[in-house]
Amino acid sequence: MFTVGYFVGSLARASINRKLALALTRLAPPELALREIPIGDLPLYSYDYDADYPPPARALKDAIAAVDAVLFVTPEYNRSIPGALKNAIDWASRPWGKNSFTRKPSAVIGTSPGKIGTAVGQQHLRSIMAFCNSPLFNAIEAYIQFEPGLIGDDGEVTNKSTAEFLRNYLAEFHAYITRVYTALPRGGG
C-alpha cells in the first residue's frame, strides 16, 4: 500500500482538473490511497524565506514527506504549468539540500478541452521534476480531452473507456512506485 499526495495545478474551485483528481481517488486500486496536497495558501517563493519557512510552506514540505509518491493533476496554461503549481514546486524543492522531491516517485496527468489535452504543459513539468531528482512515471502518458459531462461533480467518469484508461493508469503507477522503491529503498543514500 502506498500513499500518493496529489497536487491540483489549478486554484479554480470549478477546475476540470479538480474533477479529474476526484475521479482518480474513486478509481484508484486499493493499494493506492490518494490525498490532496493543497497549494493555494502559499506565498510567492523567495529565497529570503529559506532560513525560516512560513507555516504554509512548512505544511507543504511535511505533506510531501508523509506520502510515498506524488501525482500532478494539472491544466496547461500558455503551453506550461500554472504559476501556482510552479510556486509550490519551488517551495518544496528548497532550500538547497532539502528538496522534498528527491527520490520521490512522481506522475503527471491532466485534462483540457483541447484535442492535445495538456501534453505541452506536462512535458514542461516533466523537465522540472527531472531536475528535482524525482523518478518520473513516463509511460503511460495521460492527456485527457475533457468534454462536458465526462466527469460528474461527484467524480464519476461517465465514459467507460476513459474510466478504464484511468484505472489502468493508476494500476501502472502503483507498479511503478513499487519498482522505484525496489531499486531505491527508502532512507538509502
pLDDT recorded at residue 159: 95
Put residue 33 in one of left, alpha, beta given phi > 0 → left and psi -120 to 50 → alpha: beta
pLDDT recorded at residue 187: 65
pLDDT recorded at residue 94: 96
Whether the CB-CB separation of 42 and 60 falls below 8 Å is answered with: yes
Whether the CB-CB separation of 71 and 5 falls below 8 Å is answered with: yes
Whether the CB-CB separation of 73 and 20 falls below 8 Å is answered with: yes
Nearest to 137 by CA among 46, 89, 79, 68: 68
pLDDT recorded at residue 117: 83
CA neighbours within 13 Å on the CB side: how many for 45? Answer: 19
In angstroms, the CA 31 to CA 2 distance is 6
Low-confidence ranges of the chain (pLDDT < 50): none
pLDDT recorded at residue 21: 97
Per-residue pLDDT tens digits for 169-187: 999 999 999 999 999 887 6
In angstroms, the CA 13 to CA 61 distance is 23
Nearest to 157 by CA among 15, 16, 5, 10: 16
Q: Sign of torsion, CA 169 16 143 150?
A: positive
Say what angle helices 55-65 and 83-92 make with each other, to 10 degrees. 80
The 3-state DSSP class for residue 144 equals strand
In angstroms, the CA 96 to CA 94 distance is 5
pLDDT recorded at residue 170: 98
Put residue 71 in one of left, alpha, beta given phi > 0 → left and psi -120 to 50 → alpha: beta
**Domains along the chain?**
2-183 (3.40.50.360)
Task: Indicate the length of the chain as a whole number.
Answer: 189
In angstroms, the CA 74 to CA 121 distance is 8
pLDDT recorded at residue 188: 55
Q: Sign of torsion, CA 144 38 66 120?
A: positive
